[in-house]
């Protein structure tokens, strides 16, 4: 593999462009005029009931985004995953931004292959087609054949480094200049957020970096039977070419198409969301561009968890261990409706300043997030929370730390993908049980510390109602009882008798002492809760289910 591109630098790239006014001025004027005309057309035609008008408008929107180039296509792809934000007829057209863009000249692609790999495509492969099978924002994919096996050969678009470098600078300039005029309150960090986007794009156009990402991602999921990562073909990969094994699957963009292929949409939603949670809360390394063009449904899964393939590992990001654990704590605090502690989590993550009076945020947070486990859980999704939070952020000094820009993009894209397959999908129905199971089965010191905060209060007394809430989240339906009861029971027993469990045993003993007297009331409630949850009948059902799932 050959050398890499230069890294993104906001300062250096700005000076590079500002010293070339013959590039900068015409481009910024073109972008501004394009958006003015788009805004005016949406203003006058956006509410039209005429289907032809809307069809033409959606096509115009697609053409505008495509014409503006890779940076804007990436932004459009994020919109294309949100059926709750974009009307359906526009969404259908925007979906083409994922992998159905106009292809660049095939002769140029062949020239790039020869320059990068040292030989013409017809000498490297047994079969190489005359046209790409898919064309996306940064490259186009060919289905080639070698040794009776098919490969996906992705060839980068020409002049990409220059186009992205130019437009990221202009996007940052416009965002910083216009942000005071917009009805947004994301703090002073909008330039920093564009910087994160720029860094990710610069990484994404370096296919050597993508190859490393693919290998790392495959290693993280090597023990997961529900996730497939295509094999990297190093001998056919370089700075502008990346080749992997071919995937025969169905893209996660159309519920009807999945059903036509006898695939169960709900099973792929579950695999998709759980794998996303694993990336965020276990690995600390995640796919930041999970749109339907980058995910395939494969045959071989089951009705509960579908067999899912990830592709395109250019836009990846990491989350620090500290942030990862704080996010887990934040979800636990939402579950337990502890809004002051949640405000502390926001402060630690950088969404609030250290000077902020957190007590003033308790009631507003309760208004936004309250009832997410009760009657309102059926209405709880990121769109509803975002709508409420936008008002909260405008009234209080919330800001989005730049390091969370790609995390938010990934989570919002993933929920949007799930909503495309199931409009009734609620992310908490999967996320809450996942976090509950992690707390009850992960015996790492960090997670054990969080679990102890749930089980015992600051005085060391058992919080039976919070333990019950945690178990209810995980075992409130028969499916979860059957699949999760045995792992939780085994993990709990191992923890209790292990060296790590000494803190649990000590706290349990101390909780029995109140006012220098033995008090068994809370202990009896806890034992009754455990006895009812892990009854012999439930254990037997779980054991049978686990045997069936391994056959």
Over the stretch 387-446, which tens digit does the pLDDT of each residue have?
566 566 666 667 777 788 788 778 877 877 887 788 777 777 777 788 878 877 777 788
Q: Identify the weakest region by mean pLDDT among 189-193, 243-247, 376-380.
A: 376-380
Please identify, among 61, 81, 97, the residue that sits at the C-terminal boundary of a domain. Answer: 97
SS3 per residue for 212-266: HHHHHHHHHCCCCCCEECCCECHHHCCCCEEEEECCCCEECCCHHHHHHCCCCHH
In a domain, 51, yes or no: yes
**Residue with more model confidence, 74 or 523:** 74
Q: 140-170: string of b/e by CB count within 10 Å (b at 16+)?
A: bbbebebeeeebbbbbbbeebeebbbbbbbb
pLDDT beyond 90 at 354: no
- Band of the pLDDT at 480, cuts 50, 70, 90? very low
In a domain, 251, yes or no: no
**Residue with more model confidence, 529 or 345:** 345
Question: Shortest CA distance to 146 belongs to which of 127, 172, 120?
Answer: 127
pLDDT in tens, 449-465: 888 777 777 776 777 77
The most confident of 13-27, 38-52, 53-67, 507-521, by mean pLDDT:
13-27
Q: 443 - beta bridge partners?
A: none
What predicted TM-score, i.e. pTM, was given to this entire model?
0.80
| 289 is a catalytic site residue | yes
In a domain, 238, yes or no: no
SS3 per residue for 419-456: HHHCCCCCCHHHHHHHHHHHHHHCCCHHHHHHHHHHHE
Q: 152 - beta bridge partners?
A: 143, 244
Give the span between the Cα atoms of 246 and 230, in whole angstroms.
7
In a domain, 269, yes or no: no
Q: 245 - beta bridge partners?
A: 151
Report, as an integer, the average pLDDT of 218-235: 93
pLDDT beyond 90 at 379: no
In a domain, 490, yes or no: yes
pLDDT beyond 80 at 542: no
pLDDT in tens, 102-150: 899 999 999 999 999 999 999 999 999 999 998 888 899 999 999 889 9
* Residue 32 contacts residue 64 (beta carbons within 8 Å): no
User: Does residue 350 come out as left (phi exceeding 0), alpha (psi in the -120 to 50 range) or beta?
Assistant: left
Q: What is the pLDDT of residue 540?
A: 61
pLDDT beyond 90 at 370: no
What is the number of structural domains in the chain?
2
Rg (alpha carbons) of the chain, rounded to whole number? 26
Domain range for 84 is 10-97
Please identify, among 97, 124, 159, the residue that sits at the C-terminal boundary of a domain. Answer: 97
Report, as an integer, the average pLDDT of 198-222: 92
Percent of all residues in the chain with a pLDDT value above 70, rounded to a whole number: 75
Give the span between the Cα atoms of 137 and 69, in whole angstroms.
8
Distance of CA 274 to the CA centre of its chain: 10
Average pLDDT, the chain: 80
Q: Identify the weakest region by mean pLDDT among 9-13, 296-300, 377-381.
A: 377-381
- Band of the pLDDT at 386, cuts 50, 70, 90? low
In a domain, 539, yes or no: yes
**Residue with more model confidence, 367 or 44:** 44
- Band of the pLDDT at 479, cuts 50, 70, 90? very low
pLDDT in tens, 431-450: 778 887 887 777 778 888 88
In a domain, 250, yes or no: no
In a domain, 72, yes or no: yes
Report, as an integer, the average pLDDT of 23-29: 95
Q: What is the pLDDT of residue 481?
A: 45
Q: What is the pLDDT of residue 421?
A: 83
Q: What is the pLDDT of residue 432?
A: 76
Percent of all residues in the chain with a pLDDT value above 90, rounded to a whole number: 29
User: Which of 139-142's residues contact partners 24+ apart within 8 Å by CB, and which partners?
Assistant: 140/103, 140/104, 140/109, 141/99, 142/109
Active-site option among 13, 99, 195, 289? 289
pLDDT beyond 90 at 235: yes
pLDDT beyond 60 at 310: yes
Report, as an integer, the average pLDDT of 213-231: 94
Q: What is the pLDDT of residue 2?
A: 47
**Residue with more model confidence, 166 or 462:** 166
Please identify, among 97, 113, 130, the residue that sits at the C-terminal boundary of a domain. Answer: 97
Q: What is the pLDDT of residue 231?
A: 95
Query: 32 Cβ partners below 8 Å, 6+ apart?
Result: 174
Report, as an integer, the average pLDDT of 209-236: 94
Q: What share of the chain is helix, strand, coil (3-state, %, to 5)?
A: 60, 10, 30
């Amino acid at each position: 593999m050959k050398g890499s591109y230069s890294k993104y630098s906001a300062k250096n790239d700005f000076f590079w462009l500002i010293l070339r006014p013959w590039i900068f001025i015409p481009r910024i004027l073109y972008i501004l005029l394009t958006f003015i005309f788009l805004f005016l057309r949406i203003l006058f035609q956006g509410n039209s009931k005429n289907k032809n008008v809307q069809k033409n408008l959606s096509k115009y929107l697609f053409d505008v985004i495509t014409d503006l180039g890779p940076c804007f296509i990436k932004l459009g792809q994020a919109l294309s995953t949100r059926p709750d934000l974009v009307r359906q007829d526009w969404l259908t057209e925007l979906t083409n931004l994922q992998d159905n863009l106009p292809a660049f000249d095939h002769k140029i692609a062949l020239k790039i292959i020869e320059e990068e790999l040292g030989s013409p495509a017809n000498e490297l492969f047994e079969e190489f087609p005359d046209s790409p099978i898919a064309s996306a924002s940064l490259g186009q994919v060919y289905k080639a054949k070698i040794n009776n096996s098919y490969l996906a050969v992705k060839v980068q678009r020409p002049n990409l480094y220059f186009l992205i470098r130019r437009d990221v600078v202009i996007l940052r300039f416009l965002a910083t200049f216009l942000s005071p005029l917009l009805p947004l309150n994301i703090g002073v960090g909008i330039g920093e957020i564009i910087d994160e986007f720029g860094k990710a794009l610069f990484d994404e156009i370096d296919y050597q970096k993508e190859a490393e990402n693919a290998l790392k991602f495959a290693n993280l999921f090597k023990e997961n039977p529900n996730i497939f990562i295509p094999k990297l073909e190093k001998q056919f990969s370089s700075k502008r070419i990346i080749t992997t094994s071919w995937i025969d699957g169905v893209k996660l963009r159309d519920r009807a198409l999945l059903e036509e292929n006898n695939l169960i949409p709900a099973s792929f939603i579950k695999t998709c969301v759980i794998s996303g949670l694993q990336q965020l809360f276990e690995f600390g390394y995640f796919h930041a561009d999970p749109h339907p063009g980058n995910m395939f449904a494969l045959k071989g899964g089951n009705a509960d968890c579908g067999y899912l393939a990830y592709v395109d590992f250019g836009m990846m990001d990491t989350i620090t261990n500290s942030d990862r654990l704080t996010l887990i704590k934040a979800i636990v605090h939402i579950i337990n409706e502890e809004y002051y502690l949640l405000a502390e989590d926001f402060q630690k993550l950088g969404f609030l300043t250290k000077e902020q009076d957190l007590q003033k945020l308790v009631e507003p947070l309760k208004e936004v997030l309250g009832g997410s486990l009760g009657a309102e859980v059926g209405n709880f999704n990121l769109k509803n929370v975002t709508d409420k939070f936008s008002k909260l952020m405008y009234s209080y000094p919330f800001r989005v730390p730049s390091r969370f820009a790609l995390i938010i993009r990934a989570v919002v894209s993933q929920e949007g993908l799930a909503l495309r397959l199931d409009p009734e999908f609620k992310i908490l129905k999967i996320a809450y049980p996942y976090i509950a199971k992690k707390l009850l089965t992960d015996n790492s010191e960090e997670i054990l510390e969080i679990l102890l905060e749930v089980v015992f209060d600051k005085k060391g007394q058992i919080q039976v109602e919070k333990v019950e809430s945690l178990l209810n989240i995980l075992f409130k339906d028969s499916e979860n009882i059957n699949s999760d009861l045995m792992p939780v029971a085994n993990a709990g027993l191992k923890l209790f008798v292990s060296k790590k469990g000494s803190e649990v045993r000590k706290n349990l003993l101390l909780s029995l002492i109140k006012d220098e007297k033995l008090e068994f009331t809370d202990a009896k409630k806890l034992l009754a809760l455990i006895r009812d949850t892990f009854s012999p009948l439930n254990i037997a059902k779980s054991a049978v289910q686990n045997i069936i799932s391994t056959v």
